Structure 1
Amino acid sequence: MAERMVKSNGIELWTESFGEPGNPPFLLVMGASAQGILWPEELIDLLVAGGHYVIRYDHRDTGQSTSFDFQKNPYTLADLAKDALGVLDAYGIAAAHLVGASLGGMICQLIGILHPERVLSLTVMMSTPLRTGVVETFAQAFQGQATTEALPPPAPRAIEVFMSAATNPPGNLQEAIDYQVKVARAMSGSVAPFDEQECRRTVERIFHRARNPAASANHGLVPSPTREQAEALKNLRVPTLVIHGTDDPMFPPAHGIAAAERIPGARLLMLEGMGHDLPRPLFGEIARAILAHTSAKA
């Protein structure tokens, strides 16, 4: 593995690569407010063993990448997509297999729409179809308001944990760590027992390696996709695999089903008991599915 700071879209992004640069490349795109290190190295090792070169990175406003004052320098989903393409540019990669989790899945969908020539394949994990109003719907749900969208809101356990921070925000670093562990527990599925000790070690690492831990909240201010972007999803012609969990509390299963239905030709893999996370017992199945999906397009 090799860490590297790159210039992308006018900012600095932390990146890390695994495997041989000459092999077919993967770019792993994490979710909202999430650092690239949340892509488990055990899962990455399986992709590398499958003959691929794998890159993960910290989004802007997370980890060791550039942080922003969002009020002075707001940005959009399209800017986050440009960041991802800038990572590929910095590594001299013309096109890659994109794997996106949660918000990362939406970013990857947008790249597939705007720059299909840069995409060998898409894998959209625990995400939702690119659409308008998604941010507003989540804001309503986390404020205890009824939502009007056809797709279901987050599950009660997700709403409860996020509302708890709104009414009683963490007051110091230890409380912030404790809260993030609570969030991770709420996001986990039923496929394996929640490992609090491992989670706490990961959360502590996240806080200690962040340039500005508070900046990650800026991802919640990124506006929803535009109507034009959402409508363009029906024209996406990139080979796509949708992976979703039956126990996902953030994007209930209907979101994964909708993504597979709205992306032309997409295949759906629904994993029993997976939540809004990447559980170790499913690393092998996830890796095999991704490698099978990408092998014919390498």
Structure 2
Amino acid sequence: MRDTLEQARTRYVDAGGVRFGYRRLGPETGIPLVLLQHFTGTIDAWDPAVVNALAADRPVIAFNNAGVGTTSGETPDTIERQAADAEAFIVALGLEEIDLLGFSLGGFLAQVMAARGTLAVRRLILTGTAPRGGEEHLLEVVAAAFARKARDVRLPLFFTPSDASQVAGEAFIDRAGLRREDRDPDRGDAVSNPQAQAIIRWCAETDPDYGTLRAIRQPTLIVHGSDDTMFPPINAYDMSRRMSDATLIIYPDSGHGALFQYPATFVSHARIFLDA
């Protein structure tokens, strides 16, 4: 029986003076799908329903970038440096070709990594993210979510106020909490402050010629929530228009965590895309 995200041991690899914590699931052969996580998120913030299903027929690697969770070092305050750390991790694992799934902040890294071609990126999935110079409301949305004093801040942060979305959110929170032992630590402000600076800088930086998007030649699947307040869906539409080979899917009545609200649907879409 193969490991699940909830049960897999955390492994470590050294690169560039950083000891990266990661978990590898799925078969030993095939093109690995590397997961790039959201603002302040660790490996344990991924949805087991998504990760385990994706790992049923392909290698899946979830990791903590520099300074996050079980990984040593300091979290950089620019997207480019965070992307370079992710690249160093992937090189250290000896992966020759990869697919990338970037959620939110992770989607920024995935765009940079695909565009600059340091690694052999085959296909790209971007969800709940924005292009360089895109629209963001990070601090406003996070502050409003904490003010709600919900059971878990991700309920107002990732899901809409509708009953259906909140029920799906509660189920996601339950799934994400299934791992009891060896959970990733929360580094607090040491991660949130530089990551917030990186996000704000990325979206404040103008890119009038859409250079980063136009440099991405890989087939790309863009998935977004219809009511994402952190990175509004106009970002997803703009990305799909500027990229050479992008497919856009908008999920109904969903917020920033659309892939966690519709895990089976997202996995189905992701599989079709990755297997094409």
Please tell me whether residue 12 in structure 1 is matched to residue 19 in structure 2: yes
Distance 1:201 1:290, change over 3 A: closer
Aligned to 1:110: 112
TM-superposed CA distance for 1:18, in Å, is: 0.2
- Single out whichever of 202-211 and 108-117 deviates more from structure 2: 202-211
Distance 1:62 1:205, change over 3 A: farther
1:220 to 196, 199, 212: 196
Matched residue type, 1:219: Q
Find the aligned partners of 2:122 and 2:172 in 1 and give their Cα distance. Answer: 38
TM-superposed CA distance for 1:227, in Å, is: 5.2
TM-superposed CA distance for 1:116, in Å, is: 6.3
Count of residue pairs the alignment pairs up:
260
Matched residue type, 1:104: G
Instruction: Provide structure 2 residue ranges, at least 5 long, that are not aligned to the other structure.
Output: 4-8
- Single out whichever of 17-26 and 230-239 deviates more from structure 2: 230-239
- TM-score, length-normalised on structure 1? 0.75
- 1:28-80 deviations in Å (ceiling 9; x for gaps): 1111211122222221221122x210000112232111253x7xxx5421111
Find the aligned partners of 2:55 and 2:176 in 1 and give their Cα distance. Answer: 25
Distance 1:280 1:81, change over 3 A: closer
Find the aligned partners of 1:48 and 1:275 in 2 and give their Cα distance. Answer: 25
SS in 1 for 2:24: strand
Instruction: Provide structure 1 residue ranges, at least 5 long, that are not aligned to the other structure.
Output: 143-153, 166-177
TM-superposed CA distance for 1:215, in Å, is: 1.7
Find the aligned partners of 2:188 and 2:201 in 1 and give their Cα distance. Answer: 23
TM-superposed CA distance for 1:109, in Å, is: 0.6
Aligned to 2:133: 132
Matched residue type, 2:40: S
Aligned to 2:233: 253
- 1:183-208 deviations in Å (ceiling 9; x for gaps): 53232134431418945974997997
TM-superposed CA distance for 1:213, in Å, is: 2.9
- Any conservation in 2 of the 1:28–1:56 contact (CA below 8 Å)? yes
2:39 to 28, 32, 36: 32
- TM-score, length-normalised on structure 2? 0.81
Correspondences of 1:46-125 after superposition (within 5 Å) = 46-49=53-56, 51-68=57-74, 74-115=76-117, 117-125=119-127
SS in 2 for 1:224: helix
Distance 1:268 1:181, change over 3 A: same
Let me know the Cα RMSD of the aligned residues: 3.2
TM-superposed CA distance for 1:247, in Å, is: 2.1
- Single out whichever of 108-117 and 98-107 deviates more from structure 2: 108-117
- Any conservation in 2 of the 1:133–1:224 contact (CA below 8 Å)? no
- Any conservation in 1 of the 2:99–2:123 contact (CA below 8 Å)? yes
- Of structures 1 and 2, the larger Rg is shown by 1
SS in 1 for 2:124: strand
TM-superposed CA distance for 1:292, in Å, is: 1.0
Q: Which has the higher helix share?
A: 1
Give me the identity figure in percent: 21
Correspondences of 1:179-258 after superposition (within 5 Å) = 181-189=152-160, 190=162, 191-192=164-165, 193=167, 194-195=169-170, 198=173, 202=177, 209-210=184-185, 212-217=187-192, 218-222=194-198, 224-225=201-202, 231-258=211-238
- Any conservation in 2 of the 1:8–1:87 contact (CA below 8 Å)? yes
SS in 1 for 2:69: coil
Aligned to 2:264: 284
- 1:72-114 deviations in Å (ceiling 9; x for gaps): xx54211111222222222211121100000111110110111
- Any conservation in 2 of the 1:65–1:211 contact (CA below 8 Å)? no
TM-superposed CA distance for 1:125, in Å, is: 0.3
- Any conservation in 2 of the 1:34–1:59 contact (CA below 8 Å)? no
